[in-house]
């Protein structure tokens, strides 16, 4: 039974400009020949409805069709939206100011309100709440209907302009907030990128190891090869390649925290003679390498710098070499970075569409030998990260505060949903200067992988449940 049907029994639908508090009276009605017990609205107090509350109620009443959401507005009045359920997701908006901000710029202000306590989740999980919004509002193709979103898309080139000094500041914003935070939810190897799940039950540590092995095979490494790792993070991939393939690796990062830990790890493993980590912008490199790999770094480059990025790869890659670029990709085509993510998580970052990447590769004189799309793998990775983060939320609060924990949880949930609903994927692009740089067929990529079962498909389209992503 939808929200409009509930409204027939509520005075709020009969009297303009008022709202009714409470869902407190059990009433039996006949629906499709069956008697059902429902909680219907009972008039206890009538509240004047503000303009912003009226607009919000109207929008939610039109939009929410899947899931069940109960909203307490700033004046204390409560409304139920969507399909009836025993345990709706319940939220409270604490002030008219927050309600106005959310309505005018939901892309930015919904996350801001949750961080700052302007929107309080009173019942249910944050994942379920945001899934309701995503399924009912974003899935209709109009996520950027507001004027602020339009302006952000129009001026995205300015936001993504990342000269060397600005790139360093942007990287520090996210990666230099402390290694202790990342130890809370990453695997022991500190892999902060999409894992590779042959099976949904695969552990996070194994999935990350399979990802590193998959990348290594695509590089077609030989003993003695020199490898450049652009955006080496905490050094896990570089150390893996050097240990497994007997190659020499030069890793570069702009994060001081990552650089220090990576060097410590190389010393502890006794491979510092074969693995060098440098605090350096990739644009400053002058050496030439047999192989180049970049995992989870391209998202920080920015569209205005794509040609510069691939020109540098072409310059540093030997004529018979191979490069592998692993990046989050945008499925619907070019767009703009989510405003909340850009402000609080990845300033200067942008997730590209393939149509934006390929022209820059072609102009740099590189060949695309293989493109692989990893679909739900990152959703499963983020699910594992969030589970580990929430299990140690008290430690995160001790390191930072409650606001930070809410911010990071919001970030992990939003990210997972973007992959669950098909907005984002992961692109692996194998590049070279020669057609014969890799084997003739793709068989070499899968010979040593474990048997794979199908990943469970979860989306409103192909799942029979009306609220498919609530139980993952």
Residues known to be catalytic: 414
Edge-first strand order for the sheet with 226-230 is 275-279, 248-253, 226-230, 289-295, 317-330, 424-432, 367-374
CA distance 34 to 188: 56
Tokens of 55: 């607009």
User: What contacts 153, CB < 8 A, 6 or more positions away?
Assistant: 144, 335, 336
CA distance 51 to 205: 51
Q: Which residue do the tokens 């695969």 mark?
A: 202
Q: Which residue do the tokens 């992990």 mark?
A: 412
CA distance 143 to 349: 19
Q: Which of 100, 75, 80 is nearest to 90 (CA)?
A: 80
User: What contacts 255, CB < 8 A, 6 or more positions away?
Assistant: 171, 172, 175, 176, 233
Which letter does DSSP use for residue 14 in this model? T
CA distance 192 to 236: 10
CA distance 372 to 13: 52
Q: Note the helical H segments in 91-143.
A: 96-104, 106-116, 126-136
Residue 263 Cα to chain centre, angstroms: 28
Degrees to nearest 5, angle at CA 272 with 266 and 276: 90
CA distance 50 to 48: 6
């Amino acid at each position: 039974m939808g929200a409009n049907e509930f409204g027939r029994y509520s005075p709020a639908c009969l009297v303009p400009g008022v709202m009714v508090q409470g869902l407190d009276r059990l009433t039996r009605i006949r629906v499709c020949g069956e008697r059902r017990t429902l909680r219907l609205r009972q008039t206890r107090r009538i509240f004047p409805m503000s303009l912003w509350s009226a607009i919000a109620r109207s929008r939610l009443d039109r939009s929410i069709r899947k899931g069940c959401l109960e909203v307490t507005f700033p004046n204390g009045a409560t409304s139920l939206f969507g399909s009836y359920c025993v345990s709706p997701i319940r939220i409270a908006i604490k002030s008219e100011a927050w309600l106005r901000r959310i309505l005018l710029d939901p892309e930015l202000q919904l996350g801001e309100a949750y961080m700052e306590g302007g929107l309080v989740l009173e019942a249910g999980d944050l994942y379920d709440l945001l899934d309701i919004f995503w399924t009912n509002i974003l899935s209709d193709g109009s996520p950027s209907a507001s004027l602020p979103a339009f302006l952000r898309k129009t001026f995205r080139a300015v936001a993504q302009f990342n000269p060397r000094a600005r790139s360093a500041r942007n990287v520090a914003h996210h990666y230099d907030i402390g290694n202790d935070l990342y130890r809370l939810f990453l695997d022991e190897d500190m892999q902060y990128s999409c894992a590779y799940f042959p099976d949904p039950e695969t552990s996070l540590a194994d999935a990350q190891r399979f990802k590193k092995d998959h990348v290594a095979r695509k590089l077609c490494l030989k003993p003695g090869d020199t490898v450049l790792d652009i955006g080496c993070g905490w050094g896990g991939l570089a150390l893996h390649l050097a240990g497994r393939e007997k190659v020499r690796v030069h890793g570069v990062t702009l994060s001081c925290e990552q650089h220090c830990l990576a060097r410590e790890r190389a010393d502890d493993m006794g491979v510092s003679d074969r693995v060098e980590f440098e605090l350096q912008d990739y644009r400053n490199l002058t050496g030439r390498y047999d192989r180049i790999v970049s995992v989870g770094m391209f998202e920080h480059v920015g569209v205005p710098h794509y040609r510069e990025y691939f020109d540098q790869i072409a310059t540093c890659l030997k004529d018979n070499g191979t490069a592998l670029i692993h990046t989050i990709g945008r499925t619907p085509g070019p767009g703009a970075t989510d405003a909340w993510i850009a402000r609080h998580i990845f300033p200067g970052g942008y997730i590209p569409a393939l149509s934006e990447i390929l022209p820059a590769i072609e102009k740099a004189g590189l060949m695309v030998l293989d493109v692989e799309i990893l679909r739900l793998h990152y959703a499963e990775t983020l699910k594992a990260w969030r589970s580990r983060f929430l299990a140690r939320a008290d430690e995160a609060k001790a390191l930072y505060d409650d606001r930070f924990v809410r911010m990071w949880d919001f970030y992990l949930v939003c990210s997972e949903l973007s992959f669950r609903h098909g907005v984002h994927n992961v692109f692996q692009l194998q590049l070279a200067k020669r057609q014969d740089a890799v084997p003739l067929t793709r068989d070499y990529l899968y010979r040593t992988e474990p048997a794979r079962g199908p990943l469970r498909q979860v989306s409103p389209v192909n799942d029979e449940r009306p609220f498919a992503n609530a139980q993952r």
